Structure 1
Amino acid sequence: MTIGNLSPASIVSYTRSVSKLSIFHELSPRDMELDQVLDFLVYLKEEEGLQWRTLKLYVGGLRYYYQEIVGSIDLAGKIPYPKEKPSLPQIMSREELAQLFSGCLNLKHRVLFRLLYSSGLRRMELLNLKLRDIDTKDGKRRIRVNQGKGGKDRYTVLSERVLEELRIYFKQCRPKDYLFNGQRKGSPMSRGALRHALDSAVKRSGLKRVVTPHLLRHCFASHALEEGMNIKTLQYLLGHQSIQTTLIYLHVSEIPLSKAFSPLDRWEEDV
């Protein structure tokens, strides 16, 4: 399968979708009708019990295959996404985050997780960060995200406190090329190593909950809204294509009324 501007994780996911469809019907997907594709999706939901998010990945892979590879735009458009809505993210409190950071085994892991939370990066965006992506020129503090989800570049925020911690980390660890190296200098940290480091920090901290890299991204979004960040600004920082995705965080954020104001009071001050 020739796949264009997709992340490695998407390539694996999409390839798996097409492969399982072929195995299910013992037939090349190119020779299938829409009904056969729908039968496969019903099987995944009813027999394998796949949830909304996993089914969505399968549908995305199959739609991409039929539209971009086979060239059957009509068939691709008739493969429906599952109707269920995603559950709201379970946000960690600020106290729980502080507890997590205190459980980090070393400086590298502490800086890594604080950067993940404070910038709202996705897991692979963090692991793919290179030293040159930390932009502090001309008094700026920002992180360049190269080829994020959907192949788009963007910038996100760099915490002043985390920047100081990064400078200490750099002096002690001397990373090469990538901001967070794996076992070999110049190579990126692996997803498995990140997962192990986070699991260890959770265990050492005494937290009694599941913590994932993506949960830290959820926390960034929710807490940013609570502190008064504009929803459009947050959409850009998170790299969301649709504002509807960002609006989910309005339902889980505790935005205090003390931050509310009347626009009349604001503009009449200048009259």
Structure 2
Amino acid sequence: MKTYLNEISQFLYRLGNIPADELKAEHLRKYLVFCFEKLKLSENTLHSRINALSNKKHKAMLFTAYSAGLRVSEIVRLKLTDIDSERMLIFIENAKGKKDRYVNLSPVLLDILRVYFKQYSPRPKVYLFESEQTGDAYPIRTVQQIFSNAKRDAGILKDVGIHSLRHSFATHLLDKGTDIRYIKDLLGHFDIRTTERYLHVSKHQLVNIASPLDDLFKSKQIDW
């Protein structure tokens, strides 16, 4: 926290009279070029400065992956028109096996996407997450690297990829008692046996599942 606060303060100092809420991507690029060419900062220090500036688009990608249990190929193909805020649904078009499906749009994710869309410049026109350079959908490899960078910065040493967010989505739904048939549809699996592979992970969490009796007692709906 101390490191990030220091890096942000350095950035704000260089901004001068530019209001922070009026920042554009060009301001960030110029600042990072200045740090590299003029200040000649080391690679590690540059990484700290970049991370401290919090790339909201990258965060939004990772939140989207986990909140809806999406494959990385589905994340990069999401279009603005696929986000249905009225019905609180996300449309996944032509997914694996050429299968369309709907998944729930988390209210928290919707807020995150609205903040990202409001603050990011240039705003996406077709795809939810567009490349600044080309305006096309993000390459899958780039999103995988974004996850790897976030994992490294969080100090997570386990050898997992972005697909682990999809696994976690399914496992956590199982832990909450969600019927595996519903999880199958949310993940877009054709065969229930594909979904059942998540069960062996969930069984490790059985010790943490509270009895419904405990919940009733804690909520004071019954007494002893």
Q: TM-score range by the shorter chain?
A: 0.5 to 0.7
Matched, 1:159 2:111: no
Alpha carbon RMSD of aligned pairs, Å? 2.1
The alignment partner of 2:151 has SS state of helix
Match of 2:88, as an amino acid?
A: R
Alpha-carbon distance between aligned partners in 1 of 2:119 and 2:138, rounded to the nearest angstrom: 17
Residues paired across the two proteins, number: 158
TM-score (norm 1): 0.54
Partner of 1:61: none
Alpha-carbon distance between aligned partners in 1 of 2:211 and 2:54, rounded to the nearest angstrom: 37
| Identical-pair percentage | 40
Deviation at 1:211, TM superposition (A): 3.0
The alignment partner of 1:258 has SS state of coil
Alpha-carbon distance between aligned partners in 1 of 2:79 and 2:199, rounded to the nearest angstrom: 32
Partner of 1:223: 172
The alignment partner of 1:156 has SS state of strand
Structure 1 pair 191–224 and aligned structure 2 pair: CA distance change class (3 A):
same
Alpha-carbon distance between aligned partners in 2 of 1:259 and 1:232, rounded to the nearest angstrom: 23
Preserved contact between residue 85 and residue 105 of structure 2 (Cα < 8 Å): no
Partner of 2:149: 200
Deviation at 1:131, TM superposition (A): 0.3
Partner of 1:258: 210
Match of 2:169, as an amino acid?
A: F
Deviation at 1:257, TM superposition (A): 4.6
Matched, 1:149 2:96: yes
Preserved contact between residue 85 and residue 110 of structure 2 (Cα < 8 Å): no
Structure 1 pair 197–134 and aligned structure 2 pair: CA distance change class (3 A):
same
Partner of 1:8: none
Deviation at 1:192, TM superposition (A): 2.2
Where in structure 2 are there 5+ consecutive unaligned residues?
A: 1-50, 214-224
Deviation at 1:206, TM superposition (A): 1.4
Partner of 2:73: 124
Alpha-carbon distance between aligned partners in 2 of 1:235 and 1:259, rounded to the nearest angstrom: 25
Partner of 2:117: 170
Match of 1:193, as an amino acid?
A: T
